[in-house]
Structure 1
Amino acid sequence: MLLTRRHAALCGRAAVVFLCAASPVLAQQRPGGPGHPVGPTKVGVVTLARSDVPYRVTLPGRAVAYEQVDIRPRVEGVVQAIPYGPGHRVQKGEVLFRIDGDDYKAQAAAAQAAVAQAQASLANAQATLNRYKALENKGITAEQVSTAQVAVVQAKASLLSAQASLQTAQLNLDRTVVRSPITGVAGVATVSVGALVTANQTTALTTVTRLDPIYVDVEESIRRINEVRDAIAAGRLKAGDKLEASLEFDSGQVFKGKGTLVSPGATVSASTGTTTFRFQFDNPDRRILPGMFVRVNVTLGSVRAILVPQGPTTRASTGALTAFIARDGTAHQVTLTTSGTYHNAWIVTGGVKPGDELIVDGLSRLRAGAKIAPTPVAITPDGVVTDKARPAATGAAGNGVAGKGVAGKGVAATAPKEAPAKAGN
């Protein structure tokens, strides 16, 4: 019994020592303890402003050859030679195939002989007619003169027929040499030397494709086209002087060339409700090949918009886009309405107004209604917040955010739900 009481006393004394030793640590961990008052959260802000933003749409496109020809023989025969190199550029008129032409040479020679014979017959008939006319009523009757005139006409007809046969024979002989009708890249031959080919056969001997320039066809909904036209009529969208197009590959790499509109849509598909636009791009390096699927960014004009950096915004599970703004020393959460993007910024049409201070830094534990101490900062095109006192990175734009806080000039707004403003014009 005595041992138990002594043991309890020792245990109680040890507990007191442990609590006393631990109490300073616990006091340091409690926010708002003595010497550690809680203050407003420091946040970085940029001031929103309205600006002119290039407005563009991104549409799927498919590359189409500028010119493409299937090469087929016009005469029958055995292939004697294939002088071109597959995959190499060939000029218009360059020889692609040679077909055995011995038979056609013989036919041309026979036709030439028939022409000579017809010419002789015509000369004889004409001489007879001239003699009969001189002796008419002097032993030659009018009936004989008439018969001589008919013979001349028949001889002329025979000559014309022989000349036509000669022309046909010469054409067939010329067609034994198959030439490229356009300048382009010739594909691999489907036949080899010694193969028998027939006139106008179904299978092409090869294909010649012109790759520079090249067409890109895109399709857009007529409903969206009309929406853009309505926006232009209402003054919400300022149309550009012309449609400017750039091209992007599936890898995300941007093609360096710019496209021009060749053919606006003139008809609407009854099944899809879309119309087709054709753009032309210079393609000297053959980066674009027929059949490739690409993305075409078409700049329609410009809109007056407020730009909000994408980094400080949050997408809720419902799909709503939210951000925090500083107002009267308090953080307010707002829901944004957007109509596309401008480089690294949202094009905002509702939820904020010019002059609002958007919170871009210090958002990790920020809650709506929290007390804040805003500090002006800048934000680079990569979304990195920097001290406003230091120059922002080159290319950091501030077209829509004071303090050079959002994106750079020359990057257009992407709005997949819109359509080319000049469609069908």
Structure 2
Amino acid sequence: MAMRQQVFLWVALALMLANQALAQGAPGPRGPTEVGVMTVTQEDVPYTVTLPGRAIAYQQTSIRPQVGGEVLEITYDPGKSVKAGDLLFRLDPETLAAALAAAEAAVIGAEASLTEAQNTVTRYRRLEGSGVSAVDRASAEVAVRQAEADVKSAEAARDSARLALERTEITSPLDGMADVAAVSVGDLVTASQSEALTTITQLDPIYIDVSESSARMLRNRARINAGQLTASREVQTQLILETGEEYHGTGRIVSPGISVSSTTGTVPIRLQFDNPEGVILPGQFLRLKLTLGTTRAVLVPQRATSRASDGTLTAFVAREGKAAQVTLNETGSYRNSWIVIQGITPGEQLILDGLDDLRADAEITTVPVTIDAEGVVREVPESADKTAAGEG
């Protein structure tokens, strides 16, 4: 029994010592939290929309033979540029050359028949009334007209045969890049076959196709009418490659879109960009930034904000020595900042630093800070702060 009482005494003593230690180590009342603030101002901010896009060839043609024959020669190097009129393929001309020779002979024969018919008419006109009747003369004149028709038909057949022979040399119809040939020397091809021999693609300039939401287009138009957005005279374009690099070629809108897709609710827009180096290839996916104008707004650094699960964007401002949480209405981003048109007014002090565990209505002391383009916050030197205060 005495042993049990002794254990209880030791436990009670340990608890007493622990409570004393906790009481000594507990912090006293917390003072105001030091936070870094910057004064926000209203400025003209470029209004930019970013759209996904895809590159489309400016011109692209499939090369197919217009006559049949055996492929004798492939005269171009795949992947290299060709000019309009450059020879690509040469087909066996022997059969068509023989057909041309026969057609030329037919022309000569038809011309001889015409000459004979004309001579007969001349003779009949001279002998009419002395052994040659008017009926005979009329029949001879009909024979002349028939011979003339035969000459024209023979000439047409000759021209067609000559054209067919010329088409054994297949040339490029445009400037561009030639794809790999789908045939080899010795293959037999037919006129207007379904399979193309190769493809010629013009890469400079190149089209970029994007789609814009019709709903956003209507909202932007309403903002322009309300004076919240000042439209630019000319839309500025910036193309971003798949690597994230900015493409420095110049672009312009060639088709602004005149219909809305019934399935996606978007309006197709086509732009044209210079592509002298062939950096952009058909089928590539890119991003296009369109600067539509400027809007009067407050730029709020993104690091000073937080977004709730329902999409609400909030930030803290310093008001009368306390942190006040405000809800922001933004219309996009610009240089790592939100473009805010409602929720914060010019001249207010936005809390940039010391946001960890900060709560609304918490007491604060403020320190002027700045933020650079990389999002790094630095305190304002005391001399600069005094100078700014003096200027104010």
TM-score (norm 2): 0.88
User: Aligned partners of 2:243 and 2:207: how far apart in 1?
Assistant: 20
User: 1:48 maps to what in 2?
Assistant: 40
How many angstroms apart in 1 are the aligned matches of 2:122 and 2:229?
Answer: 86
C-alpha contact 1:238 1:301 (8 A) present in aligned 2: yes
Structure 1 gap ranges (5+):
1-6, 33-37, 393-401, 404-425
Residues 314-346 of structure 1: CA distance to partner in whole angstroms, max 9, x if unpaired? 122333221110111211111212111112000
Whether 1:313 aligns to 2:310 is no
Compare 113-122 and 201-210 and name the one that shifted more: 113-122
Summarize the alignment of residues 87-166 of structure 1 with structure 2, pairs less than 5 Å apart. Answer: 87-166=79-158
The equivalent residue for 1:3 is none
- 8 Å Cα contact 1:244-1:258 kept in structure 2: no
State the Cα distance separating 1:146 from its structure 2 match: 1.9
Taking structure 1 as the reference length, the TM-score comes to 0.82
Amino acid at match of 2:316: F
Structure 2 equivalent of residue 72 of structure 1: 64
CA pair 384-391 structure 1, distance change in 2 beyond 3 A = farther
Aligned residue identity for 2:246? V
8 A Cα contact 1:74 1:199, kept in partner: yes
AA aligned to 1:185 is M
SS state of the match for residue 119, structure 1? Answer: helix
2:228 maps to which of 221, 236, 242: 236
| 1:30 to 2:27 alignment | yes
Query: 1 or 2, which has the higher helix percentage?
Result: 2
CA contact (8 A) 1:216 1:279 kept: yes
Equivalent residues in 2 for 1:304-343, closer than 5 Å:
304-343=296-335
Range 311-320 or range 206-215, more displaced: 311-320
Superposed CA RMSD in Å reads 3.2
- Contact residue 80 and residue 194 of structure 1 kept, 8 A: yes
Q: CA deviation at 1:106?
A: 0.4
Determine the structure 2 residue equivalent to 1:260. 252
Cα offset, 1:273, TM superposition: 2.8
User: How many residues align structurally?
Assistant: 384
Tell whether 2:63 aligns with 1:63.
Answer: no
Check whether the contact 1:55–1:302 (CA below 8 A) recurs between aligned residues.
yes
Aligned partner letter, 1:103:
T
User: Which residue does 1:182 correspond to in 2?
Assistant: 174
- One-letter amino acid matched to 2:149: A
Output the CA distance in 1 between the equivalents of 2:43 and 2:299. Answer: 8
Q: Which AA in structure 2 matches 1:174?
A: E
Contact 2:80 2:178 in 1 (8 A): yes
1:355-370 equivalent positions in 2, closer than 5 A: 355-370=347-362
Tell me which residue corresponds to 2:277. 285
Classify the secondary structure of the residue corresponding to 1:267.
coil
% identity of equivalent residues: 50
| Contact 2:110 2:147 survives alignment (8 Å) | yes
SS in 2 for 1:105: helix
Separation in 2 of the partners of 1:52 and 1:204? 55
Give the match's secondary structure for 2:194.
coil
What is the alpha-carbon distance in structure 2 between the residues aligned to residue 203 and residue 210 of structure 1?
Answer: 20
Amino acid at match of 2:298: I
| SS at structure 1 position matched to 2:135 | helix
Partners in 2 of 1:138 and 1:354 — Cα distance? 119
